[in-house]
Copies of this chain bind each other. A is one copy, B any other.
Amino acid sequence: MHLLSIAIPGASPVPRRLRASTKHNQFLEPRQTLSIEPSAELLTVESGCLALSHYLPDGRRQISDIVGPGRVFSIGADCRAESLTYSSVMPVDMPSDAYVSQGRLMLARMQAHALLLGRKTAAERVATAVLDLARQFAPRDRPSRPSRATFILYPTRADLADWLGLTIETISRTLNAFKRTGLIAFDRPERITILNQPALERAAGGTTP
């Protein structure tokens, strides 16, 4: 992980699993798994990036969502939340209408993702993912959508593969194909710049997240 060179004194060799604190903020370093007792039902991401994942008995993994700042999520029985970078999460008590609307958002995202997993080609999946991650992680100076955004791609190729139902190699090939075609640019694997958003959206199969 060379995304951030923040020095955290003596933080490297700690247990990789964490219990939800009784009350407030929760700070995570990269690749920590959040295991929560149902005390805190709803959590919000203050900063950083989490992956919500599910496993088959034999180890196959499916990431159901990548969650960025401002997003609300909850983790239940067979759902794990893992930080993809230094992150901070916080329990939230919501007014019930906000609760409902957040639930709707989660559902809508999951349905869109099912459409992606069930019916989109590899290129369409990767394009969709890049646009989604740009929306979540590109700095938005203006309320408008960033048309030439650079952002940090927190998920690794392996994470993307497990999110999009593909393999590491296919992710790499597709991203580099997009680079060759001039849709995106990157020198380091995790700093992505969108060069041609309309074309990317077309490549995504016509559904903007």
1/0 per residue, CB under 8 A from B, across A28-64: the answer is: 0000000000000000000000001010111011101
Which of A52, A54, A108, A162 has the most C-beta atoms of chain B within 10 angstroms of its own C-beta? A54
List B contacts of A96 (CB < 8 A).
Answer: 96
Contact of A107 among B61, B110, B112, B164 (CB under 8 A): B110
Q: With the chains together, A77 CA to B199 CA distance in Å?
A: 25
Interface size on A, residues (CB 8 A): 37
Q: Measured between C-beta atoms, what is the minimum distance from A72 to chain B in Å?
A: 12
Task: Pick the 6 closest A-B CB pairs, nearest first.
Answer: A118-B165, A117-B117, A57-B206, A110-B110, A62-B115, A62-B118
Question: Within residues 92 to 115 of chain A, which ones have a CB less than 8 A from any CB in chain B?
Answer: 96, 99-100, 103-104, 106-108, 110-115
**Binary contact readout A104-148 vs B (1 if CB under 8 angstroms, 0 otherwise):** 101110111111011110000000000000000000000000000
